[in-house]
Amino acid sequence: MDPQQAVPLGPRKKRPKQTGTSVAATPHDIRFQDLVLFILEKRMGTTRRAFLMELARRKGFRVESELSDSVTHIVAENNSGSDVLEWLQLQNVKAISELELLDVSWLIECMGAGKPVEMTGKHQLVVRRNSSPSHAPGSQNIPPPAVQKISQYACQRKTTLNNCNQLFTDAFDILAENYEFRENEGSCVAFMRAAAVLRSLPFPIISVKDTEGIPCLGDKVKCIIEGIIEDGESSEVIAVLNDERYKSFKLFTSVFGVGLKTAEKWFRMGFRTLSKIKSDESLRFTRMQKAGFLYYEDLVSCVNRAEAEAINVLVKEAVAVFLPDALVTMTGGFRRGKMTGHDVDFLITSPGATEEEEQQLLHKVTDLWRQQGLLLYCDLIESTFEKFKLPSRKVDALDHFQKCFLILKLYHQRVGSDESSQQEGKGWKAIRVDLVMCPYDRRAFALLGWTGSRQFERDLRRYATHERKMMLDNHALYDKTKRVFLEADSEEEIFAHLGLDYIEPWERNA
């Protein structure tokens, strides 16, 4: 059964319409001073007009609620140039010839680009004699480009950090997380896929019509999109955010070392705050959870790019002491171009190291940090990697490389001029760091797997299985038809084996 069908469908509740007045009340910075837009309500409707006005204002455009002499561009939908001209004449506008009359498709392209785009013939509403309004050039609402070509797989879509549909993806992330807390995998995956495909779109969804032909958007997903377009928010999402179970799980799992089973246990015991949990003497915490509570305030605050770069230097310095030729690569969200994250991940490999040197490196590095007083927590997991073992069939399977999960002390002075150095108090911040040591000939597979994003990796493995009859994980790529392991020295070679166009790390933010 398709995961989309796993999402329960319920009756659509009628909600009060949101008016343009309430939307226009939100202040926004104006980036494009030379353009003053007026969006025509005729044949568009109050709700859609209000949504477009708010969207344009968020992008930095100046949008007038009422027609005035300062307006330079008139935007209309399902109107011909003659229709707009006739309406302007009824408003007693004198300098009509100085106005740009544009189809809404121009505004949609502007929203996708985040700035004004060139006005071409397809955008301009031309006034022609003896032409019926419904067939006037430019009067049609031009649909978003090439939606029929969008792949269901994130590994065939380029997804940068420029998200045109954050209003929807934020909602789907919350719903997916709620289903994950309830261990409803089908519904969780459905909303994750929906969020991923919307992140990849180069244009904003401003009408349910815009979702036609886009994969991974089931009926329930489209119902929520419609609700957000009409009301600016989703009643389903609001219900989740106010749900006691969701709020408790969100709080409990924010503690390093606390998973779903522990969160469920604490919730059933009646706990709702961390202070109550910490003060209950009957509870026994793991070593990881103790560290999570001890450094909680630092660990729940985001790691910024400057702090990640400082940790990068710290790791490279320590590794070079024992393996000067080792390659240390920052992976995860920071490799994908993100400016913040919850931890910093590193892949370490060495072309000249022996098996024993590989096995000892993380032990030596963590011992060095312990002597320097920088190691606040360490959980080192030994390698169980076997070279000719078939890749795992599970899309979220953990790899078998040696790795350690750490909390390191980062002194503010190492961050340089960043704001962290200006903070008062203890003079350092606890940072979550993951180190992975892999054999040199496995580096391409490990790098691809540890770069993410999670949904990109899930779809990459799903694509390999269903479209290429192959098996892929962080260790290897196996061709089931030819019954051979396919070697690769780079990520590009893995993409080539799979018959995929190479996608850069910063384009994998699914």
Cα(133)–Cα(387) distance, rounded to whole angstroms? 69
- Read off the tokens for 406: 């750490």
Sign for the CA dihedral angle at 487, 489, 490, 492 comes to: negative
Q: Tokens 């076997």, residue?
A: 386
Cα(460)–Cα(450) distance, rounded to whole angstroms? 13
Cα(32)–Cα(35) distance, rounded to whole angstroms? 6
Cα(8)–Cα(188) distance, rounded to whole angstroms? 12
Angle between helices 454-468 and 185-200 (to 10 degrees): 100
- Asked whether 116 and 180 are in contact (CB, 8 A), the reply is no
Among candidates 72, 53, 70, which has minimal Cα distance to 61?
53
Of the residues 83, 103, 210, 343, only one is catalytic, namely 343
In the β-sheet with 484-485, what is the strand arrangement from edge to edge?
470-472, 477-479, 484-485
CA 469, chain centre distance (Å): 28
Cα(322)–Cα(44) distance, rounded to whole angstroms? 68
2 is in an annotated binding site: no
CA 158, chain centre distance (Å): 12
Question: In terms of C-beta density within 10 A (0-12 exposed, 13-18 middle, 19 or more buried), how is residue 324 classed?
Answer: exposed
Cα(247)–Cα(269) distance, rounded to whole angstroms? 15
Asked if the peptide bond before residue 235 counts as cis, ω within 30 degrees of 0, the response is: no
Cα(300)–Cα(296) distance, rounded to whole angstroms? 6
231 is in an annotated binding site: no
Cβ neighbors of 436 (< 8 A, separation 6 or more) are 331, 345, 346, 347, 348, 399, 401, 402, 403, 446, 450
Task: Supply angle C-alpha 183, 186, 188, rounded to 5.
Answer: 65
Cα(193)–Cα(218) distance, rounded to whole angstroms? 10
343 is in an annotated binding site: yes
Cα(126)–Cα(101) distance, rounded to whole angstroms? 8
434 is catalytic: yes
Of the residues 345, 399, 459, 473, only one is catalytic, namely 345
Cα(447)–Cα(441) distance, rounded to whole angstroms? 11
**What are the φ/ψ torsions at residue 116 (nearest 5 degrees)?**
-65, 135
Among candidates 467, 492, 491, which has minimal Cα distance to 481?
467
Cα(321)–Cα(31) distance, rounded to whole angstroms? 50
Active site residues: 343, 345, 434
Binding residues for Mg(2+): 343, 345, 434
